[in-house]
Amino acid sequence: MPELQEKPIAMVTGGAGFIGSFLCEELLKSGYRVICVDDFSTGHVRNIDPYLRNPDFQFLRQDINVPFDLEAFPELEPFKVKFLGVQEIYHLAVPKSIKNYDKYRMSTLLVSGRGIANILDMAVKYKSKVLLASSPSVYGPRLSDSERFTEEYHGVVDHLASRSAYEEGRRFAETSLDTYKKVYGIETRIARIFKTYGPRMPLFDGFQISDFILNALNQENLIVHGDKDFKTTLIYVSDVVSGIVKLMAHPEDIGPVNFGNDVDEMIVGVADKIIAMTGSNSKVIFGEKLQYLMEQGLPDVHKAKEALHWSPVTRLEDGLQKTIDYIQANKILLTGE
């Protein structure tokens, strides 16, 4: 009898978050055993509830700023981590909050220093391939509307600005990955993920799209935090996950890669579209500009298209409809009403 081949093991930090939970789902479908690590600072157990009974999925409630040993968790014994190791680490854990940025300021700082060092030390131990979910924040403010951020652009970031714990933290996280690669020879990947939307987006935290939908369903005003000219780029979550998986699977480290949509969307236009799609009587009104809500620049995605044969495939209308359906079906659970 031939020996049964063990399934590869992947660890996803921030796995109970918005994007992380979809990534866990995709990895399970692809035949992985998945270790999901999260401390629920901005993630939620409902995002991973469908997988908790899957024998190939194990959740660890853990703050990554504190060193931890996977082999010390008895619930991971069926995964045989001590003997099989961890083949891939997807590092998505970082508090990402707009309205509650001040609440998470210290943990945001620490996760880009202590936290990533703990994860990279684990990668060295198991000779794991590591992917960092980074951000276009490394580029700094939006360029002109006609220009796109290429991966070669070094960015202009004020290291003492109001959001510097996050923005400079993402830059330092990328530097950490690159340094560990050069010193210890581990395989690394960097994904710069632009504004993402879809089911499981946080509510009431300034991300706007999810709040627009909830307000439209409740026949309440949709509040735009900014002026009528506020623009954004939007990419659906499954397209982001597809890009992450393709980047990790690529045989070579091709450096940082942008994953986003290179089309500008007027936020007022998106709000109007949501009102129409939900058949709501709501109106769009303008509220105070949120201190930590920034107008994000547009990505140049030629590198992802050419090297990974990736491009976003979900139309805005289709992605919004899936998000509307999710919030409508889970409204009581999401809001506690």
Q: Where are the domains of the chain?
A: 9-199+235-261+297-314
- Taking only the tens place, the pLDDT of each residue in 58-69 is 999 999 999 999
Q: What's the CA gap between 41 and 333, in Å, rounded?
A: 18
CA distance 136 to 115: 20
Q: Which DSSP symbol is given to 142?
A: -
Q: Where are the beta strands (DSSP E) in the chain?
A: 9-13, 33-38, 57-61, 88-91, 129-134, 188-193, 196-197, 222-225, 231-232, 235-236, 257-259, 265-266, 284-287
Determine which helix (DSSP H) or strand (DSSP E) holds 245, and give its type and residue range: helix 237-249
Looking at per-residue pLDDT, the higher value among 207 and 294 belongs to 207
Q: How far is residue 113's CA from residue 168's CA, in Å, rounded to a whole number?
A: 11
As a whole-number percent, the residues of the chain with pLDDT over 70 amount to 98
Q: What residues act catalytically?
A: 166
**Average pLDDT for residues 102-123, to the nearest whole number?**
94
Architecture category of domain 9-199+235-261+297-314 in CATH: 3-Layer(aba) Sandwich (3.40)
Q: Give the phi and the psi of residue 149 in degrees, each rounded to 5.
A: -75, 120
The burial class, CB within 10 Å (0-12 / 13-18 / 19+), for 33 is: buried
What confidence tens digit (pLDDT) does each residue in 318-328 have? 999 999 999 99
pLDDT by residue (tens digit) across 217-226?
Answer: 999 999 998 7
pLDDT at 5 over 90: no
**H-run or E-run covering 25:** helix 18-29
Q: Which of 271, 270, 265, 266 is nearest to 222 (CA)?
A: 271
Q: Which of 105-119, 133-147, 191-205 has the lowest mean pLDDT?
A: 133-147
Q: Would the pLDDT of 24 be above 70?
A: yes
Q: Is the pLDDT of residue 264 over 80?
A: yes
Of 236, 245, 239, 187, give the one whose Cα is nearest residue 29. Answer: 245
Between 187-196, 294-303, 328-337, the lowest mean confidence (pLDDT) is in: 328-337
Which residues, in sequence order, are CB contacts of 150 under 8 Å at separation 6+?
Answer: 258, 300, 302, 303
- Separation of alpha carbons 167 and 135, rounded Å: 8
Checking if the pLDDT of 120 tops 70, the result is yes
What local confidence, expressed as pLDDT, does residue 336 receive? 62
Gap between the Cα atoms of 247 and 240, Å rounded: 11
